[in-house]
Amino acid sequence: YEKSGFDRGHLAPAADFSDSKEAMYNSFLLTNISPQIGVGFNRDYWARFEKFVRNLTHTFNDVYVFTGPLFVPIQNNDSNKSQLQYKVIGNPPNIAVPTHFFKIIICPIQNPKLTPSPSS
């Protein structure tokens, strides 16, 4: 990542693990890291999005988040076929840079009509 122009972006943000030193340490393992553009994405939009998701825990009892990299193909105008193109960084270049990222957020709502009554 050094001098590549990319941040070591966390898939599960380190700030989500501030209550445990071990969990915080483990959030820096490379299995939780993916190259992300720093200015304009990782340190801006994505950071605000992670804060929004973190704040959902003040509203919902359970918040499930699935995050990952995507490698989205583009349409080749000459052949009209889709092809996968992405940057590779490192020395030697062996770290694929995702073209996109996703987050799936699930916040189950407790429905009082579906909750069993204490007498059942």
Judge contact between 97 and 88, C-beta under 8 A. yes
pLDDT for position 113:
55
The pLDDT score that the predictor gives to residue 1 is 82
- Strand boundaries in the chain, DSSP class E: 6-10, 33-37, 64-70, 74-75, 82-83, 88-89, 95-96, 100-106
Read out DSSP for 23-36?
HHHHTTSGGGEEEE
Given 7, 9, 10, 36, which residue is catalytic? Answer: 10
Determine whether 10 is an active site residue: yes
Confidence at residue 20, expressed as pLDDT on a 0 to 100 scale: 94
Are 114 and 83 in contact, with CB atoms under 8 Å apart? no
pLDDT at residue 107, rounded to an integer = 95
Type of residue found at 61:
N
Q: What is the mean pLDDT of each run of 10 residues along the chain (120 residues)?
A: 90 93 95 93 94 94 95 90 93 94 93 55
pTM, whole model, 2 decimals? 0.81
